[in-house]
Amino acid sequence: MPTKTPMGYSPLVPNDRQLESSDEASEFPSEKSSGFDSAPGGRPITASEIICTTVYQFPELSDAAKEKARSWYRELGPHDDWWDAVYEDFERVCEILGIRVKSTPVRLMSGGTRQKPCIWFSGFWSQGDGACFEGYWSHAKGAAARIRDYAPKDATLHGIADRLQAIQRRNFYQLAAEASHRGRYYHEYTMSIDVTRDSPRWQPPTEDAEELVTEALRDLARWLYRQLEAEYDHLTSDEAIEEGIIVNEYTFTEAGRRFG
């Protein structure tokens, strides 16, 4: 329900109470005085006022005020590192497919370090946005079946696993690849893919190996970007915004302005 919130506090001015003695009365201005000191320039120094306003919980607002409240919260943006869950899922997918994502140490405020996966993205409004990663790929036995157990409805991942397994089969499961990031942008085409074959007879990879592996790994980067975009869209949806406002018990004016 609406509540009253004071906007400021003001002590009583001296003339608001009865004077107790003539000595005390002499400390205050006479009737001919304005009752206030003057600031430089002649502007009177006035006391602040107590002003109250009614504030509302989100469900109590009108539709127009709710939209204004949602816009305010949406401008705050999702919480820091909102992509962590997507990264964790991606690393699990990579593990199943036989990809070991590279990592780099980052310094913590406590003075220690932790390993950060070499995954990057930019999004989600420009034509050049996308995602990329660095890692090492090699044959993972049973990857096609395992990815279906992990993500039974994700046809894109199924297709990537099948293509990687097929090219490995044609090369007697001897292929390996390294994906590295190049440049200052982040999308699948900033990934450089180096494909090699560990053959005891020094056999080179089949002619189509590099192209097929490269495209499969870039498709995986595209898949990652779509997961990040979907997560961001969810976090900034009206439903998620309203949940965040209500959980944090934010209050607003009748027009939907944040207050309180």
Q: By residue range, what is the domain housing residue 196?
A: 84-235
> What predicted TM-score, i.e. pTM, was given to this entire model?
0.76
Q: Which two tokens stand for residue 68?
A: 């204004």
Q: Is position 30 within any domain? A: yes
Q: 193-218: per-residue pLDDT in tens?
A: 999 999 999 999 999 999 999 999 99
Reported as a single tens digit per residue, the pLDDT across 31-59 is 444 444 555 556 666 677 888 889 999 99
The continuous run of DSSP H or E covering 105 comes out as strand 103-107
260 found inside a domain? no
Q: Would residue 244 count as lying in a domain? A: no
Q: What was the pLDDT predicted at 80?
A: 78
Whether the CB-CB separation of 132 and 120 falls below 8 Å is answered with: yes
Euclidean distance between CA atoms 249 and 243, whole angstroms: 10
Please write the tens of the pLDDT for every residue from 133-164: 999 999 999 999 999 999 999 999 999 999 99
CA distance 47 to 29: 16
61/174 same-domain check: no
Per the model's pLDDT, the better-predicted residue between 208 and 111 turns out to be 208
Q: Is there a domain that residue 92 lies in? A: yes
Q: Is residue 174 part of a domain?
A: yes
- Two structure tokens written together for 5: 């919130």
Residues 93 and 15 in one domain: no
Number of structural domains (the chain) is 2
